Amino acid sequence: MSDTYPANESVLHFIWKNRLFNPLGLRSTTGTSIFIEDPGIYNRDSGPDFSSSKIRIGKMMWIGNTEIHIRSSDWNLHNHQNDTAYDSVVLHVVWEEDLVIYRSDGSRIPTLELRTLVEPHQLEKQHGFILSPEPIPCKDQIVHIDPLIRLDMISRCAIERLEKRCEQIRPIFQKAQFDWDATCWIWTARHFGFGINNDAFEQLASIIPRRVFLRCSMEKQLEPLLLGLSGLLRGVRDSYSKELRNQFEFLQRKYQLADYPMHWKLMRTRPYNFPGFRIAQLAAIFNGNYNMFTRFIRSGNTGEWINTLFRAEPGKYWRTHYRPGKVTDAHTNQLGSQSRMGLMINCLSTLVFFYGQETGLSEFKDLALQLQENIRPEDNRKIRGWDKFGIKPSNALESQGLLQLLDYHCTKKLCLNCKIGTHILRNLG
């Protein structure tokens, strides 16, 4: 018998799912024999922890749900006694029974106590992972496991990352009245904030009426429209900025556009990320390309056309300016390769995946994965951190998976829900 309690319920979930306890001669806390034919299917949503469990209790075979707690009294603590969804529980699996638990009809729920059935080293192995101070608890073992197991988990995480990003697109899609090209415009504009100004860029793109955007795109007037609405032309005196300001005032009168307060962040922002410079690049890309997403979806290509489009250059003024009215040394006015790569990964592939989700056309979800597979892996601090442990992504899909694995699994110590972690734990001596 171990005096150590599991660190959390996920430890017991892992023990139950993998049957890491003595299965012989099992008995409930009232002495009834128990035989586990199938522990059931792990449930990650609301409701009992395992469904479709097949368990013989006495002479009766039961097929139903299994609920797991550290202490049996947690049943009431979690308010299950008032939830009829838990009346289908056929077995209550606990570390310790400290309270007899009943269903809503008054019948006692059979209870299996694990603390006398689990070897102490089983808890020690799992606690060594989930209580580890290391950001990646399996850093010493991960490189040694089957590469197929590792790649499968990384691929799952890459898809999980796309799915999480899709939740950011959904409100934009709804606000755009389910117009795919309008969604593409706003979603792409948001990414031109490159982190620090994302919200401001999304606001700027969203306040432009669709008919105005279409007209200005066709007439290649997006640069004065966007820079005027951004407020970045106010008080600027050089001739080019004055010309843009005059064009904007004409557009403002023509389309009856109101002034909106815009808040731009410049502190700790590198010059090539200054909003004026990025707005000029954004305008160059969308001038004449108001239906960019529709054209891409119909083209059936794997991103070469979009990648070329992301190279569109604003006027020569922006070769010596990062913001209106401020002359700098000569520089390229084109999006850099890292920026284009980031847009392909975080913007385009996510939108294509979302399109596949919303339309039910799975080939576009596959296309989104293919887009990332065709891009080289990111090179940043987190990815270089994996290199220390012998893990090197071969493309952007894998690097995205490694970022998701680190941020949402490793650092949160969800090792018991990770294919890599569970494989290592099952095979540790």
Average pLDDT of 110-136? Answer: 85
Average pLDDT over residues 228-232: 96
Q: What does residue 321 show for φ and ψ, rounded to 5 degrees?
A: -140, 140
Rounded distance between C-alpha atoms, residue 388 and residue 62, angstroms:
49
Compute CA distances 112 → 25, 88, 177, 188, whole Å.
12, 16, 53, 54
Q: How far is CA 427 from CA 10, 122, 423, in A?
A: 18, 11, 6
In this structure, of 110-114, 132-136, 172-176, 333-337, the range with the lowest mean pLDDT score is 132-136
- The pTM (predicted TM-score) of the whole model is 0.82
Q: Which pLDDT score, from 0 to 100, does residue 230 have?
A: 96
The predicted structure's pLDDT at residue 428: 60
Q: Look at residue 89 and tell me whether its pLDDT is greater than 90.
A: yes
H-state helical runs in 256-336:
275-286, 292-299, 304-309
Q: Tell me the helices (H) and strands (E) count for the chain, helix number first.
A: 18, 8
Average pLDDT over residues 114-127: 84
Mean pLDDT of 24-47: 93
Per-residue confidence (pLDDT) for residue 427, from 0 to 100 = 75
> What residues does each domain of the chain span?
9-130, 181-342
- Spatial neighbors of 85 by CB under 8 A, at least 6 apart, are 46, 47, 48
pLDDT of residue 1: 44
> Helices 9-17 and 120-130, interaxial angle, to 10°?
120
Given its phi and psi angles, is residue 325 left (phi above 0), alpha (psi -120 to 50 degrees) or beta? left
Kindly state the average pLDDT of the residues 233-237: 92
Percent residues over pLDDT 90 in the chain: 74
Query: Given this model, what pLDDT does residue 3 score?
Result: 62
Q: What is the mean pLDDT of residues 163-178?
A: 96
- The band of 361, judged by pLDDT with boundaries at 50, 70 and 90, is very high
Burial class (CB in 10 A: 0-12, 13-18, 19+), 198: middle
Q: Which residues are 92's β-sheet partners?
A: 67, 111
- For the chain, what is the mean pLDDT? 92
pLDDT digits (tens, 9 = 90+) for 367-403: 999 999 999 999 999 999 999 899 999 999 999 999 9
CA gap 135, 26 in Å, rounded: 38
Comparing CA positions, the residue from 13, 6, 2, 18 lying closest to residue 93 is 13
- pLDDT tens digits, residue range 259-315? 888 899 988 889 999 999 999 999 999 999 999 999 998 886 666 778 888 999 999
Cα angle 308-334-228, degrees, rounded to a multiple of 5: 110
Distance CA 58, CA 38 (A): 16
Q: Output the CA–CA distances (angstroms, integers) from residue 86 to 44, 49, 57, 239, in the order listed.
A: 15, 10, 18, 73
pLDDT surpassing 70 at residue 50 = yes
User: Considering only 48-52, 259-263, 351-355, which range has the smallest mean pLDDT?
Assistant: 259-263
What's residue 105's pLDDT?
84
- DSSP 3-state of 47: coil
For residues 187-191, give the mean pLDDT.
97
Q: State the DSSP code for 167.
A: H
Q: CA-to-CA distance for 270 and 322, rounded, in angstroms?
A: 10
Q: Average pLDDT of 38-45?
A: 90
120 — pLDDT class (breaks 50, 70, 90)? confident
Q: Please tell me the distance from the alpha carbon of residue 209 to that of residue 77, in angstroms, as a whole number.
A: 52
pLDDT of residue 301: 64
Q: What pLDDT does residue 103 have?
A: 87
Whether 351 and 293 have beta carbons less than 8 Å apart is answered as yes
Q: Classify each residue of 111-125 as buried b or exposed e, where b means 16 or more C-beta atoms within 10 Å of its C-beta.
A: bbbbbebbeeebbeb
**Whether 51 contacts 79, CB under 8 Å:** no
Residue 128 has pLDDT above 50, yes or no: yes
Closest CA to 119 of 18, 14, 21: 21
- Of the chain, the percentage scoring pLDDT greater than 70 comes to 98
Given a contact cutoff of 8 angstroms between Cβ atoms, the answer to whether 404 and 161 are in contact is yes
